[in-house]
Each structure stands twice: as structure tokens, then as C-alpha cells.
């Protein structure tokens, strides 16, 4: 049937150059109009030359390039009679539960698109990305979808997040899926049954970050001081970029000079081997590896030891569990099911260069002093037998970034914010789910458009070891120091003595 470019008149507004593909269901076209106007598909009435578009087919609905279609429908909810009725939790539907508990909006599975839904939910847990997307200027068009994939991805993700912020119901991310398929055609591959194939969620995560990295400009905060600098040219570089200082030493020619360089990554790989029982052990394995490359001294390929240390910490640390490996015989990405424990609070001080460790110490000392103050207050209350009362004292939140490096982490401390899990035996099959911490420190499991509250203990059970959901990608947010006003001055003046002890 083909693709057409049409104009749509809706009241006093007119949307120009809207793509209409007759090879797809009319619902896809209606979803685009939903994104443009806010009129839900069920309230849209689309007409052309006296004919009304049916939701199930294009039959008898004639379309030509450049023609104008008329759309009728209200973007506001239709008024309904007030109903006062007591509803018990046991009688609530999943939609009612989502509204009652103020769950975030879920995303409808459009056919093996759970990998995309889980990734979108996890990335939404980074407020700086979410906030800067909302300020991004631009409109989705046929032109940028075809010629500038990063522009189309950025705009469509912005629009999807805006829709998610307006409701707690499930949203069909049809437009965003179309843009993703256009930008990355392999995500649109189908099975013999004609349904979309399952894709690797971490690959989707990596590609979306790469697209945003090209479009979201670096942030300059006036509150960070005149010396504040932009790391790289992108917001993603600032808040997600990890710098590794790497040293290459030739094992077969010790006299060959070492080469030192800096590598930027947006994920920290956690390697899983027989001996890895805890995430931190896997992170340390990333710091030393053996590779083969050409040796200028020997004039041939030789074995090199590559050692790495983190020289710059981002505000948000993404850690990928390397759970999949390619099985040549079966031609699949098989999964390592091993149980690897991960913490709710992460400290990466020992993974950093000595120079960065020195920069981290002042803020770490402030954290330590505040912990000691709270402990002393608690012990004093126990000894006096008087329970400490909650006060209305003003609290001060310290910046988590260095003054000269916006988006960095100045302490090495992190808190778990989101987990993307996989259930199954292969990355190209099974099911992906996201588990996201809410602002009130509760957790929600986002299983496509099924949202449910979970306990933090349930999150810690995602470490693997069987066919249950296994952590695949983890997002850690910066731990921020919050103190009461009367302790701010004391903490700011703490200085470690020669033994490393802190005295207030």
C-alpha cells in the first residue's frame, strides 16, 4: 500500500508532514497522533473525503500525498458522574493498585519488547537525563527519523517520558519502538511466526546512551563555582562517563617502555568466573587482563598485561554483569546463571587511582564524621534512657560532584537505584524486567505494564543462581551527605590526622 506524507487538522491546530504507512495497522498512525495531540486513539475520529478511518483496517480509506485529514476528539478526560465506593486491596485491579500506590507508568509489551521497556524504565531513574530531556527542543518528523537517528531517538524518548509522567496507566510505546527499529534495523527482526525477536537489553541500553550522548549538551551549573568545567561535550559524558587510566606492559619484553593512556567507558563490566561470588570481586577482575597485540620491540604479536584504575568517577555508575557468552555449536548467547551478590550501598574507593583517592578523601571524611555523630547521639540516648525526638532543624545536602567537574562523584559512595534483570537461558529469549527505587526509597517491579511494590529483600534476591530473574545491568546513584544545620560547620572543618583518624 505504501507510505504517505499527510497533514492533520485538529481544531485550530494543524500537524504537517505526518507519516502514514498503510502497510501497518491504523493504530500505529493513531499512536503518532496521540503523541502529537494528546488525544487517545479511542477518542480519535479521523476523516477524509467523507470517509471515517476504522481502527482495524484501511479499507475504503483513500490517502494521497499532501492531503489534509480531519481529526476530531478531546485530549481531556471525558467527564463522568462521581462514584463513591469503598474498594478493598483484594478487589483492586493492577491499574487500580498502580493509582492507589502512585506507581510510575508501565509500558505495554508490543511483542518481545520487554528488553526495550526495561531499559527505558531504568534510564528514567537518572533525574539529570530525565530533566534535560524535558528541555530538549525539537519535533519528530520523517526527515530526522531517516537522516538523524540520534535526534529522533532523543525526541521520541522525551515524548515518551512526558506521557509516562502524566499517568499511572500502561502506555503503548509504539512511536518510540518505530523510531528504535528505524535507527537500529536489527531490533526489528522477526521470527518465522512473524513476531519481533527478543533482543539483548544491554545492547539496547548501550545504543540509547550513545544516541543521547550525541544530542544532550553538557551542563554548566552556576552553583558549582566559576571553576566548574564541562567534561566532554555531552551530559552523558558528565554523569555517566567513567575514565580508566590504563597501563600496557609487554610480558615478553620487559625492557619495552610502558604505555599509559585514558579510556572512557559508560559501563563498568563485572566479569564472572568460578571464583566470583560477590560483585566487587568481579569488578576487580576488570582491572587486570592479558591481551595480544603488536610489539614494536619484538616486531611481532606479543602478550601484554593491561592494568586499569578508575581516574574519574561519574555521578551514576552503570555496572553490567557479563553473563552471556557465545556458544558456537548452538549459535546462541548462553547465560552464566551463577549467583553473584551485589550490595545496596557500593564503595569503589579501592578501584581508583591514588590521585583520585586523595581527591575523594575530604568528602569521605565528612561522611565518616556524620556517621560518628549519629552513633554518639544514639549511644547517648541509650545511656540516658530517653528516646531522641525528631526535630525540625534545617538540613543541608552537600553536592556529590567535585566543584571543577560537574556530574562526577566526589566520595566513591553509591546507592543502588535500578536493576535490569533477565529470566531465561539466552539473551535472545526469556524475559527482561526492571526494578526501580522510588523517591521515597520504596521499590517497584516494572514488568512491562504490570507494576507492583516489592521489598528491598526481593531486590537482593536478584543475584542469580537459578532460573529466577538474574541481575544483568545495575544502576548506582551518588550517595549524598545530608546533615542538620548545627553540624554543618563542624563537619566542613574535619581534617584527618597523620594516622588517618578524623576529629571533630
Alpha-carbon distance 81 to 143, whole Å? 45
Is 114 considered catalytic here? yes
Q: Which of 114, 204, 240, 352 is catalytic?
A: 114
Alpha-carbon distance 394 to 219, whole Å? 28
Extended beta strands in 209-342, E state: 242-250, 259-265, 268-270, 288-295, 300-312, 317-321, 324-327, 332-335
Is 431 considered catalytic here? yes
Alpha-carbon distance 244 to 247, whole Å? 10
| Residues with Cβ within 8 Å of residue 362, at least 6 apart in sequence | none
Alpha-carbon distance 459 to 53, whole Å? 46
CB 92 within 8 A of CB 433: no
Q: At CB < 8 A and 24+ separation, what contacts does 278-281 make?
A: 278/340, 278/341, 278/342, 279/319, 279/321, 279/340, 279/341, 279/342, 279/343, 279/474, 280/343
Q: Which of 7, 230, 280, 431 is catalytic?
A: 431
DSSP 125-164: T-HHHHHHHHT------HHHHHH-HHHHHHHHHHHHHHHH
Please, how many CA atoms are within 13 Å of residue 405, restricted to the half-sphere of its CB? 21
| Residues tagged active-site | 114, 431
Amino acid at each position: 500500500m505504501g507510505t504517505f506524507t499527510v497533514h492533520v487538522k485538529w481544531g485550530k491546530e494543524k500537524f504537517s508532514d505526518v507519516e502514514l504507512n498503510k502497510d501497518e495497522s491504523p493504530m500505529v498512525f493513531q499512536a503518532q497522533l496521540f503523541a502529537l495531540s494528546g488525544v487517545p486513539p479511542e477518542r480519535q475520529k479521523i476523516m477524509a473525503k467523507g470517509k471515517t478511518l476504522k481502527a482495524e483496517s484501511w479499507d475504503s480509506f483513500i490517502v494521497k500525498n499532501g492531503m489534509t485529514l480531519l481529526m476530531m476528539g478531546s485530549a481531556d478526560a471525558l467527564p463522568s458522574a462521581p462514584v463513591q465506593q469503598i474498594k478493598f486491596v483484594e478487589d483492586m485491579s493492577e491499574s487500580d493498585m498502580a493509582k492507589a500506590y502512585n506507581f510510575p507508568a508501565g509500558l505495554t509489551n508490543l511483542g518481545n519488547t520487554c528488553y526495550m521497556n526495561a531499559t527505558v524504565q531504568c534510564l528514567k531513574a537518572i533525574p539529570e537525563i530525565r530533566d534535560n530531556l524535558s528541555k530538549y527542543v525539537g519535533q519528530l518528523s520523517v526527515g530526522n527519523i531517516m537522516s538523524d537517528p540520534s535526534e529522533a531517538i532523543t525526541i521520541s524518548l522525551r515524548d515518551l517520558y512526558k506521557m509516562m509522567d502524566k499517568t499511572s496507566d500502561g502506555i503503548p510505546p509504539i512511536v518510540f519502538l518505530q523510531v528504535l527499529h528505524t535507527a537500529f534495523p536489527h531490533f526489528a527482526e522477526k521470527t518465522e511466526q512473524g513476531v519481533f525477536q527478543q533482543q539483548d537489553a544491554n545492547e539496547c541500553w548501550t545504543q540509547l546512551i550513545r544516541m543521547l550522548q550525541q544530542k544532550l549538551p553538557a551542563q554548566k551549573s552556576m552553583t558549582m563555582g566559576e571553576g566548574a568545567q564541562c567534561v566532554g561535550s555531552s551530559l552523558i559524558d558528565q554523569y555517566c562517563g567513567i575514565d580508566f587510566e590504563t597501563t600496557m606492559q609487554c610480558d615478553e619484553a620487559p625492557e619495552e617502555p610502558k604505555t599509559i593512556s585514558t579510556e572512557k567507558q559508560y559501563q563498568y563490566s563485572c566479569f564472572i568466573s568460578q571464583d566470583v561470588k560477590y560483585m566487587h570481586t568481579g569488578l576487580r577482575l576488570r582491572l587486570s587482563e592479558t591481551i595480544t597485540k603488536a610489539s614494536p620491540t619484538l616486531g611481532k604479536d606479543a602478550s601484554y598485561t593491561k592494568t586499569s584504575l578508575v581516574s574519574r568517577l561519574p555521578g551514576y555508575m552503570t555496572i553490567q554483569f557479563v553473563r552471556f557468552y557465545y556458544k558456537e555449536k548452538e549459535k546462541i548467547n548462553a547465560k552464566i546463571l551463577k549467583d553473584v551478590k551485589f550490595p545496596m550501598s557500593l564503595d569503589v574507593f579501592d578501584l581508583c587511582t591514588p590521585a583520585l583517592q586523595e581527591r575523594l578523601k575530604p568528602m569521605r571524611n565528612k561522611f565518616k564524621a556524620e556517621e560518628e555523630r549519629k552513633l554518639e547521639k544514639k549511644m547517648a540516648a541509650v545511656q540516658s534512657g530517653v528516646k531522641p525526638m525528631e526535630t525540625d532543624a534545617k538540613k543541608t545536602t552537600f553536592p556529590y560532584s567535585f566543584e571543577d567537574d560537574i556530574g562526577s562523584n566526589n566520595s566513591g559512595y553509591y546507592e543502588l537505584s535500578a536493576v535490569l534483570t533477565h529470566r531465561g537461558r539466552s539473551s535472545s529469549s526469556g524475559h527482561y524486567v526492571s526494578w526501580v527505587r522510588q523517591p521515597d526509597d520504596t521499590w517497584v517491579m516494572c514488568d512491562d505494564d504490570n507494576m507492583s511494590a516489592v521489598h528491598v529483600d526481593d531486590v537482593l534476591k536478584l543475584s542469580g543462581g537459578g532460573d529466577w530473574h538474574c541481575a544483568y545491568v545495575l544502576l548506582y546513584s551518588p550517595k549524598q551527605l545530608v546533615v542538620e544545620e548545627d553540624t554543618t560547620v563542624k563537619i566542613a572543618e574535619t581534617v584527618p590526622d597523620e594516622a588517618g583518624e578524623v576529629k571533630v
